[in-house]
Amino acid sequence: MSKRVVVAVDGPAGSGKSSVATRLAERLGVEHLDTGGMYRGFAVRCLRDGVNLEDEQEVAALVDGTDLEVSSGRVLLDGSDITGELRRSDVSAASSVIAQYPTVREYMVTLQRNMVKAAPSGAVVEGRDIGTVVLPEADVKIYLTASEPTRARRRAEQAGLSVRDGQKEVAMRDARDSARKHSPLKPAGDAVIVDTSNLNLEQTVDKVLQIVTGGVRD
């Protein structure tokens, strides 16, 4: 594909976003930006500093002093690589809490838009609000979803949890991420919805790639 392309991939926990977005970016030869990793990275900062996560002002006060770098699938906090910490259960839960706060979101959205602007060939950007808020002008918007049991199972496998704990985590984050006041998880009006419940990774990537190549003019 010769034209610069920006693809938004949104969806709930366990829908397969990260695996699909990683492979899609490889196939298209563009950057991959995992915005969930940024919220997770900031959640690690909040947990390390022991702030009360429910206190918006305490959390917001940390945003400006946080040095977060995201590149090639790694997240650096104050210069040190914290990628290995991002998938911990306490980090997952905390990321969904701090992502409710508008000061945190404004900071992340600015960083995300700058990173996409700087990507010469374009990017596959995954998150919850990419098609709706961060990049409403994205060339293609994909909304990945899957049944709740499927998502719970995938999340449990990914995080080494029991299926029951995976189910609890997914249900809790779904409720918070979809019901929050600022930039809730929802498909953009012009997103293509892809249900991955009965598709394996390869089938999903092929399907999404077809949508992207069909939706982008050279």
Contact residues toward ligand DC (CB under 6 A) are 13, 35-36, 39-40, 95-96, 99, 127-130, 173, 177
Count of CB atoms situated within 10 Å of the CB of 74: 13
The smaller minimum CB distance to ligand DC, of residues 97 and 205, is found at 97
The smaller minimum CB distance to ligand DC, of residues 30 and 70, is found at 70
Residue 188 CB contacts under 8 Å (≥ 6 apart), including other chains: 8, 10, 131, 132, 136, 141, 143
How far apart, in Å, are the Cα atoms of 178 and each of 11, 128, 181, 184, 195? Answer: 10, 9, 9, 5, 18
Residue 27 CB contacts under 8 Å (≥ 6 apart), including other chains: 205, 209
Q: How far is the CB of 217 from ligand DC (least distance, A)?
A: 27
The smaller minimum CB distance to ligand DC, of residues 1 and 119, is found at 119
Q: How far is the CB of 179 from ligand DC (least distance, A)?
A: 12
Q: How far is the CB of 194 from ligand DC (least distance, A)?
A: 16
The smaller minimum CB distance to ligand DC, of residues 1 and 159, is found at 159
Report the length, in residues, of the chain: 218
Q: How far is the CB of 171 from ligand DC (least distance, A)?
A: 12
